[in-house]
Amino acid sequence: MLGADLMAQAVERQGVRTVFGLPGHLESFFGAVDRRGMRLLHMRHESAVVLAADGYATTRRTLGVACVTSGPGLANAVGGIASANDAGTPLIIFAGRNPFAMLDARPQQELDHARLVRSVTKWSQVVHDANRLGEYVEMAARIALSGDPGPVLLEIPRDVATATVDEAAAAGSLGPVIRAHAPRPAPDDVARASALLAKAKRPLIVAGRGAYWSHAGAVLQQLNREYGIPVLLQGPSRGLIPEDFETVFGWPMGSICAREADVVIFAGGRLEGGIGFAAPPFFAADAAFIQVANIAEEIGRNRVVEAPMAGDTRLALEALRDGLAAAKAAAWDGSWAKAAIAPRVAKIESLGHSEDGQVHPLRMARELAARMAPDALFVGDGANCNNWYKATFRIQSSPGFLDHEPFGAMGTGLPFAIGAAAAFQEDGSTRQVYLGTGDGAFGQYLAELATASLHELPIFVMVANDGTWGSSRNITLRLFNGTTGVDMNQSRYDIVAQGLECDGEFAPTPAEVGPAFDRALAAVREGKTAVVNVLVDRAASGDRADPLVQMISFNRLRFGGV
């Protein structure tokens, strides 16, 4: 048995059956993965490798594994690692390295990998002994999955991966697989939060990533349906309860009602920029806050929290629910939330209906929403166009939504979609994956269309192609009434898709969007990745000046608004 076989065995013990990689230095690990009957998706760029592992891990609520080569390979991967770190996605990144005998000889493709990534990982380490590879993988998995989850890095020199290991010694180093769980909140903290909630007139729950990872959907539904508490779902938590636009909304659409709440429960979310730093104008200045977080360090960032609860999100919400039940509390009337967002809904419904010229991104989103299955997963990417996607889709199932927040790296959408589609295939699911992106974001990892095609991943991609970096274009027009450095061509991405063995469709006018989507969806049903290149009206971005249609928090903070 080689060290690489021990790596693959340890990965499989973690319940991971799909690995994402790019060859170089650790081809021995690729062979070991294949010998165990696991799946390897080899890709075109190392950052995309990590992002695809992120999409896989998030979709399955499990560990993700990425394997990249030494030196420039890991340097390329840093963007993906940083994104996963900010999102709190548990990943193991294996980085190759030249043999130990070449240490300090200045060989090609060499870096101090562990030191390079320490600021964007929970832990990074070099493995010196092949017999301990299984032990190190187990340790890395525990660290990645515990507390506030996140990525870890193991640097594996080539001669360690290819060394022959003592199988008996290696097997003896592996105990039972450990799954660390966040603790139950302290009774005093539960009592304080319950007392605050009992006084609320307009309570509101904002459910973040912690609600998703802790499988808190059932208790969120109880608090919403039995006790009438409106719920705003953020990031991957979208879909834990179907968004009915009555008392359950995605955060982007529903954020406008948050300022009406007098008690806000942040369930597994950080008080960060994506929610306006939990500050006015997004929330009332005199609102009281209950915050639930896996680790106490994240509580109280940017504002005082009246009722902190450190612990598992699902357990904390169940404790609040049990307190309401014990007190025989009456249900609240949550209709105030729908009334608060009514002006936003009306404004959005008034836009994007022109049949003339090029397409408004809202037209694209509406056409897809009319065709998207209730159990579909939607991946959002880009900035200008993503604003309109967030304004349209009502996510109905979980996992049902991924995008590049909180880090905000453009281009993550296609790798995320690849990882999600691979996760569904691994689990035998026929659920569909849809990607909505802009031309700027799409261009960053465009070659990964070849990855999707090679590995037969059925993904629907719609590209809002306005030939510009839309958000930055708006800024340059305000700053110096020009567009220097932001405009591009409205290129034929559909033809590129065809050249990379995908289906490619073109929709230059509003009337052609629906038929192009239908052709692309037919190709997806046949197992292909399909790209619809939609020519979008640049002027549509000007509609975002109205605060009522600003779905992304930094826009409203920058421009001012409600």
Position 559 scores a pLDDT of 40
Cα distance between residue 442 and residue 448, in whole Å:
10
Q: What tens digit of pLDDT does each residue of 512-559 get?
A: 999 999 999 999 999 999 999 999 998 888 888 888 998 876 554 444
Q: If phi over 0 gives left and psi between -120 and 50 gives alpha, with beta otherwise, what is residue 355?
A: alpha
Q: What is the pLDDT of residue 558?
A: 45
HSE at residue 159, side-chain half, CA atoms within 13 A, is: 7
Q: Looking at residue 172, what is its pLDDT?
A: 67
Q: Strand pairing partners for 125?
A: 154
DSSP 231-295: EEE-GGGTTSS---SSSEEEHHHHGGGGGG-SEEEEES--SSGGGGGG-TTTS-TT-EEEEEESS
Q: What angle do CA 359, 361, 364 make, to 5 degrees?
A: 80
Amino acid 174: pLDDT: 73
Q: Does residue 154 contact residue 140 with C-beta atoms inside 8 Å?
A: yes
Q: How far apart are CA 468 and CA 485, in angstroms?
A: 9
Using a 10 angstrom Cβ sphere, with 0-12 exposed, 13-18 middle and 19 or more buried, the burial of residue 284 is: middle
pLDDT at 562: 38
DSSP β-bridge partners for residue 73 = none
- 535 with 385: CB under 8 angstroms? no
Alpha-carbon distance of 280 to 53, in angstroms, equals 36
Phi, psi of 450 (to 5 degrees): -65, -35
Instruction: Summarize the confidence of residues 247-253 as an average pLDDT.
Output: 96
User: Hey, what domains does the chain have and what are their CATH numbers?
Assistant: 3-172 (3.40.50.970), 187-340 (3.40.50.1220), 351-559 (3.40.50.970)
Question: Can you give the pLDDT at residue 422?
Answer: 98
Quote the mean pLDDT of the chain.
93
Distance of CA 39 to CAs 26, 343, 432, Å? 16, 49, 20
Structure confidence at residue 159 (pLDDT): 94
pLDDT, tens digit (0-9, with 9 covering 90-100), for 5-53: 999 999 999 999 999 999 999 999 999 999 999 999 999 999 999 999 9
CB 155 within 8 A of CB 188: no
- pLDDT for 55-84, tens place per residue? 999 999 999 999 999 999 999 999 999 999
- The pLDDT value given to residue 225: 97
Helix (H) or strand (E) holding 91: strand 91-97
Q: Residue 309's pLDDT is what?
A: 96
Question: Residue 122: its pLDDT value, please?
Answer: 97
Percent of the chain scored above 70 by pLDDT?
98
Give the model's pLDDT for residue 18: 98
Distance CA(370)–CA(279), nearest Å, equals 35
pLDDT (tens digit per residue) in 148-188: 999 999 999 999 999 999 888 777 667 778 777 778 999 99
Tens of pLDDT, residue by residue over 473-504, are 878 888 888 888 888 899 999 999 999 999 99
Closest CA to 510 of 358, 346, 333, 327: 358
CA distance 408 to 90: 18
In this prediction, residues 404-422 reach a mean pLDDT of 95
Residue 358 and residue 244: Cα distance in Å, rounded?
31
Question: Mean per-residue pLDDT for 371-378?
Answer: 96
pLDDT beyond 70 at 560: no
- Taking residues 430-447, report their average pLDDT: 96
* 3-state SS assignment for residue 422: helix
Beta strands in 7-63 (DSSP E): 18-21, 39-42
